[in-house]
Amino acid sequence: MLPTYQRISGSQPSNPLLSVRRSFRSSEKCLILLVLLTFGFVCFGGFFFLPDNFGADRLLKVYKQLQRAGPEIFIPPPPPANGLLDGDEDPHKLNDREKLQEKIQKELPADFLEKPDLDIGRSEGPEFDNALDSGVLAPVVMGPMAGGPAGVVAPPQIIDEPDIKAASKGSSPGSVVSNTFNSNVGEDPDPAVREKRNKVKEMMIHAWDNYKLYAWGKNELKPLTKRGHSGSIFGAFDLGATIVDGLDTLYLMGLHKEFDEGRDWVERKFTLEGVGMDLSVFETNIRFIGGFLTCYAFTGDRLFLDKAKYVADKLLPAFQTPTGIPYALVNVNNGISKNYGWASGGSSILSEFGTLHLEFSYLSDVTGDSVYRERVQTIRSVLKDIEKPKGLYPNYLNPKTGKWGQQHMSLGALGDSFYEYLLKAWIQSGHEDEEAREMFDDAMQAIIQHMIRTSAGGLTYVSDLKFERLDHKMDHLACFAGGLFGLGGTTLNNQYSEKYMEIGEGITNTCHESYVRTYTRLGPEAFRFNDGVEAKALKSGEKYYILRPETFESYFIMWRLTHDQKYRDWGWDAVQALEKHSRTPNGFSGLKNVYLTDPQKDDVQQSFFLAETLKYLYLLFSDDSLLPLDDWVFNTEAHPLPVKGRNPLFRAAATSSGP
């Protein structure tokens, strides 16, 4: 064992191997100094002369600049003060902002926040005026441009000047993009109603600006922690779900700059390549394909059509099953598909595979490719021919055997939008898809008989049915059924019409009661009718509110069908509740318990809040000329699609040029 130290006596060590030199030679000192100087020179040169090699620092610098500049660039200015007229701006603030933006532009990279080029032209001629009488959207109809189709109809925009933005960057030859509408399109004659609509528009701006500031390109915003929400249905991959979901709402509200920003992101950044996770076929369809198709219908911009086709093609492998009933999940990289492990022995879910028809049928019409309609028509055939217990559709179906899973029926979660799409497929077809209407009426008669009930207090509700036993529970998701029954009762005058309207009004009232019986006046995720309780949540896991739109959807549809003032009153009450309890300085958040005086927020601004909740509230306070129900049908994510044979924006028989 060696000693830990050794005493050294005299001028020479007793063991030369253990000697320690206490200094370096002159040559060694020079060499070390040279190495240190060389290293310092490289670091100095790399930092000051090679900024592109230090990506993290570069991005950090950009981020810090945006943080400082964000409130000036992205957040709209406060209301006019000091006697300024509407449209005027404080010259001192204007000069400050110009100086700040000039400084930012000097410090940011040249290609940062690059926007698409837009050609601006002045509209004139009789075509511009005659279109206002079309009855579709009160739009401006344009003639042929750049070889495009004649009679291209612009979408519902509200701005103050008649300029037209055409031929957006990235559009294919012949496409026409028009963003301009007369400034009063969709405005209610009542100034008080217009003020309420403008409030909803301001809420949209608040939600969008903060998403843009803190989570741009991410799927959703966490407004409290001011970052992207990586736990969304689409995971941590930057698919821009809020951008795609919110684009058509921006367009309807006349928010042109914000729409152009979103379109530019879609063109440059949106892709499914390299997404290493299983995507929900249902969610991807209703949010992305539906969102892109609506933007294509509104604008005629081929970018959106190509993106819709690109996404749909990524989902097609999920349909490769023995029955043609698609799996719930698909890996868009390798096409491997599967179902959720919890879904009744590997079954597919009724509300998911039954909620593809509107988007896929319209996609076939506008691309000329029949493959999409063939896939959903196969689903329709299986469901039409299969034996249905008591005339009802259970929530689970095995895609391999074609047999039902467990006997659980619902007009809420797991079943809801299948029934919605039966009625709306018939509406979308211009009432030609009689098979869909027949299936809808048959299903509703079974639901009315076995699942619709009236509480002791006179509230109409639709209960889940599990193994022939009523659960006496209604999901918030089922609150869309008020509008569904209303549409069923007014779109076709038959022996069921009166009953449909009665149920539609009853369910909408019940959902309103579930709202006003909470402290926040926002509705719980589910509510029950038993043990003396009516329209109230009993379990802690049912008391949350995640900015859902279904109740507001029924308010909007029932308002359009009846013009009963109570629906607008209920909607405005909900707007005030959202402002009071869900609004934060950096967006909107869901609530964990709607029955508390000061509920904790869940820190998620759902993408459907922009796509659905705010859109339905905006339309509730708009004139009927904005998206008439005879000419448009809303998919289950509130993306409006044009009705065939009635709406000039149907844009059939276009040819796609690829993703």
Instruction: Cite the active site residues.
Output: 525
In angstroms, the CA 477 to CA 398 distance is 24
Backbone φ, ψ for residue 19 (5° rounding): -70, 150
Structure tokens at 655: 């040819």
Residues recorded for the chain: 659
In angstroms, the CA 627 to CA 633 distance is 9
In angstroms, the CA 598 to CA 594 distance is 9
Q: Specify whether the CB–CB gap between 545 and 525 falls below 8 A.
A: yes
Q: Specify whether the CB–CB gap between 627 and 248 falls below 8 A.
A: no
Q: Which residues pair with 348 in a beta bridge?
A: 397
Q: Specify whether the CB–CB gap between 558 and 482 falls below 8 A.
A: yes
Structure tokens at 582: 């869900």
Q: Specify whether the CB–CB gap between 444 and 411 falls below 8 A.
A: no
In angstroms, the CA 459 to CA 274 distance is 50
Taking each helix axis from N to C end, the angle separating 290-299 and 302-315, rounded to the nearest 10 degrees, works out to 160
- Secondary-structure breakdown of the chain: helix, strand, coil percentages, each rounded to the nearest 5: 45, 10, 40
In angstroms, the CA 93 to CA 483 distance is 47
CA–CA distance from 349 to each of 436, 440, 630, 653 (Å)? Answer: 19, 18, 30, 32
Structure tokens at 24: 């370096």
Structure tokens at 628: 């008439």
Residue carrying structure tokens 């026409």: 176
Q: Specify whether the CB–CB gap between 605 and 545 falls below 8 A.
A: no
